[in-house]
Structure 1
């Protein structure tokens, strides 16, 4: 790290758990963020401020006036602009030393198979189950840790699905793809503006912990927030022996990111 980086990241470096070594790991890491909207905005900004050296953003959508109530990476001047381009501008305005790659497209299975293989951690900030299952399948295949968040109305949830750990469930263990779950759009149900900031910030925190090799992740635990009461609840999750996604996963020990 140069003198400017030592100063920029000094508050991380002062933490014994991170220090220079941990910050260097962040600078050398590559994160994939699926979605640049409500959850993706705080995720992208915090990964940028924290110094994750290479970040890939994927989103097919453009900034709309209705997004500005909660999607803090965008502003009024960027209405109509691709969300990934808008988010990239905000990230580089904070930290111009980053490498930020943007893809204006849907995250389908073919795209994810290529992208997930290249990165150290994946953050799912999408808003539909089809994409979430495609992201999970790619993470299981390539044994990459997945930080998954969701938020609608006043309810949010977050967990880590770490297929590097043989006893930990994947997303499909907990939310089977064949289950009849109907996607709910923010346009019809609404979403409490700070809720996506809370969940997205926690996603960024979990990703940074994984990349720096510190603390204990949320793997095996699903945390749920009722923002009406600002009350958290947690359930323990087990790997499903008959999971259609990870049932054949080899029982190998965890690797360091």
Structure 2
């Protein structure tokens, strides 16, 4: 008995659909709350080649929703750990592992070898970056996102007259408008539901089954278990925001364009430690793990506005938090107060320190 028998006998799918999956390749960007269920069901369905892009490592706070990992995986790279799980489970899938974050420098090379791209990331700069790269290479893109009790799914750049992410969200949000799970919370089952819907859309596109969510966005509310759809149309103004060449794309600073704040990696930040630079931890007291370094100041974001005088004498200031979101907000707040200072946010926060 073939392990794909139950889907092969499905009317409308058949051996032809299975053959299409077997010959297809998918790149999953982000192996977190959305990426885990996506990978589980793409692998189970028999997609022939699957790539995983993620430079992050497994943290204990991930375990309520990132179901591929357990306590034994803490500190390990997510892309490598996820692939190892599947390599032991299925022998008939080709895995390509990229233990790094997608950037303007590597995006073209990463997505060029795959038929379909799935964006399972959790931040706006990367979403715009992935969208623009897919438009430049004419790659279909399955998109999903969650916020508190609601999730959304769509398929972008699929065939003629297709919409893309910028048609849905033409205006990049400011740092003060950017939420994340560490601040707003999430029930682990919601990214599971949305991730499964994303996997379903990918399978539909690859096997030519049914009607994918082209030019439509499906919204799901976990409190009411209700869904609704919104139709979207191409926006000529938003299309003009997409770089028209790879050279223009690689010159883009998506983080700066989206959040208005320049970001540094931990490697870049560490090289500044011997200079007259203030390192500011904006986490709340008791958040772990602690960090001790030269020039360290602890000013929680919630009290930053009342402690601006502590930073008056520092010409260069580097903010960090747990995941990199609060530090962007802190940097933006300080930039407004001190426009002449050099202010940075450390990308990924403490969670990225082990992988830098």
Give the TM-score taking structure 2 as reference length: 0.65
Contact 1:170 1:246 (C-alpha < 8 Å) held by counterparts: no
Contact 2:220 2:228 (C-alpha < 8 Å) held by counterparts: yes
Q: Which residue of 1 aligns with 2:169?
A: 175
Is the partner of 1:160 in helix, strand or coil? strand
Which whole-Å deviations, capped at 9, do the CAs of 1:230-257 have from their partners, x for residues lacking one?
A: 1112111000012234697xxxxxxxxx
Matches of 2:57 and 2:80, distance apart in 1: 9
Matches of 1:194 and 1:236, distance apart in 2: 26
Matches of 1:171 and 1:43, distance apart in 2: 19
Is the partner of 1:7 in helix, strand or coil? coil
Gap regions ≥5 residues in structure 2: 245-356
Contact 1:25 1:212 (C-alpha < 8 Å) held by counterparts: yes
Change beyond 3 A, Cα 1:211–1:245: farther
Contact 1:84 1:104 (C-alpha < 8 Å) held by counterparts: yes
Gap regions ≥5 residues in structure 1: 1-5, 249-257
Contact 1:140 1:245 (C-alpha < 8 Å) held by counterparts: no
Matches of 1:128 and 1:112, distance apart in 2: 16
Matches of 1:80 and 1:245, distance apart in 2: 38
Aligned match for 2:132, one of 116, 131, 137? 137
Is the partner of 2:236 in helix, strand or coil? coil
Whether 1:116 aligns to 2:111 is: yes
Using the TM superposition, name which of 109-118 and 70-79 deviates more. 109-118
Q: Report the alpha carbon displacement of residue 178 of structure 1 after superposing the two structures with TM.
A: 3.7
Give the TM-score taking structure 1 as reference length: 0.89
Larger Rg over CA atoms: 2
Whether 1:61 aligns to 2:56 is: yes
Q: Which residue of 1 aligns with 2:43?
A: 48
Quote the RMSD (CA, aligned, Å): 1.8
Identify the structure with bigger relative contact order (alpha carbons < 8 Å, sequence gap 6+).
1
Matches of 1:247 and 1:129, distance apart in 2: 17
Instruction: Count how many residue pairs are aligned between Structure 1 and Structure 2.
Output: 243
Matches of 1:96 and 1:124, distance apart in 2: 25
Q: Which residue of 2 aligns with 1:191?
A: 186
